Amino acid sequence: GAGVSQTPSNKVTEKGKYVELRCDPISGHTALYWYRQSLGQGPEFLIYFQGTGAADDSGLPNDRFFAVRPEGSVSTLKIQRTERGDSAVYLCASTPGLAGTNTGELFFGEGSRLTVL
């Protein structure tokens, strides 16, 4: 697609439920990033992929959070046993990713707003 696409744009769920958020990066971008943004705060790094593998998952807050990118394109962020504190906008970004093609510019999607009641 022309840009990074995230679905759903809004998700309301109940405490304890399981949630999946999807990110479709720009075609050909090998690197994909997930961030979480709370109101009034900057984007908080969660994880980034280079191809199919998670290159750095040091930002995942705990083992309830997991992300996959099985074919090196679409990624899914999975949150188990959601808590009210998980409520935030989850942002996905992609970048060409490879040395020689990378410019350091992240291309962001519009985000998925998660509300845990």
Partner 1 sequence: LAKTTQPISMDSYEGQEVNITCSHNNIATNDYITWYQQFPSQGPRFIIQGYKTKVTNEVASLFIPADRKSSTLSLPRVSLSDTAVYYCLVGDGGYSSASKIIFGSGTRLSIRP
Q: In the complex, which residues of this chain contact partner 1 (CB under 8 A)?
A: 4, 30-31, 33, 35, 41-45, 48, 50, 55-56, 58, 91, 93, 95, 97-100, 102-111
CA-closest candidate to residue 109, choices 23, 1, 12, 39: 23
Pairing, β 75-79 against β 65-68: antiparallel
Minimum CB distance to partner 1, residue 78 (Å): 20
Q: Between residues 14 and 105, which has the closer beta carbon with respect to partner 1?
A: 105
Minimum CB distance to partner 1, residue 93 (Å): 7
Q: Between residues 62 and 103, which has the closer beta carbon with respect to partner 1?
A: 103
Distances (CA, A) of 79 to 18, 40, 64, 98: 6, 22, 6, 29
Pairing, β 10-13 against β 112-116: parallel
Q: Between residues 82 and 94, which has the closer beta carbon with respect to partner 1?
A: 94
